[in-house]
Amino acid sequence: MIRHTAFAALLLAVATASAAQPAAPTGDAARGKDKTRMCQGCHGIDGWRVAYPEVYSVPRLGGQHAAYLEKALHEYKDGERSFPSMRAIAATLSDQDIADLAAYYAHGSTKTAGK
Ligand code: HEC
């Protein structure tokens, strides 16, 4: 219980700190790679589909622009985009996590033809 409270306080402190500091964190692709474990279950499957909560096409992330990915994740986090599972995931990400993940996926090996 005490641990939970401490963790919540920490999250709040982090949220407050990032809100007070408008400069966006710089993404680090190597750190981002470590954080993709919670994404690959949905964004890494052949055919780009998930089966939960319903069969649904999943957008491919690799090779998209970092700025676009970052914006999308912030929109899920802030509730501007409303897909439930992405909202739940984005809510757990800090601004730094989002920047790192965006940097990783933007520099991923999956490029469209011709690049
Ligand atoms: C439970 C399955 C699931 C997990 C886990 C998941 N996603 Fe998603 N994600 C989706 C689905 C489904 C969509 C499409 C939702 C929609 O239509 O808005 C999506 C959309 C996105 C988009 C928007 C892409 C676009 O082209 O607009 C981004 C960015 C994204 N996810 C990043 C992530 C990241 C980063 C993680 C890991 C931290 C993650 N997702 C984990 C299912 C998942």
Which sequence spans correspond to the domains of the chain? Answer: 27-106
Q: Which of 31, 36, 39, 94 to mutate for ligand 1's pocket (most ligand atoms within 8 Å of CB)?
A: 39
pLDDT band at 106, cuts 50/70/90? Answer: very high
Whether residue 88 has its Cβ less than 6 Å from ligand 1 = no
Query: When comparing pLDDT for 15 and 67, which is higher?
Result: 67
The 8-class DSSP code of residue 29 comes to H
Q: Tens of pLDDT along 7-63?
A: 666 555 555 555 555 677 899 999 999 999 889 888 876 555 565 556 667 888 888
pLDDT of residue 113: 47
pTM over 0.85, yes/no: no
Tell the burial category of 52 from Cβ atoms under 10 Å away from its Cβ (0-12, 13-18, 19+). exposed
Considering only CA atoms, which residue is closest to atom 38 of ligand 1?
39
Neighbours of 100 (CB within 10 A): 25
Tell which CATH architecture fits domain 27-106: Orthogonal Bundle (1.10)
Whether residue 69 has its Cβ less than 6 Å from ligand 1 = yes
Q: How many CA atoms lie within 13 A of 103 on its CB side?
A: 18
CA of 108 to the centre of ligand 1 (A): 16
Cis upstream peptide for 53 (omega within 30°)? yes
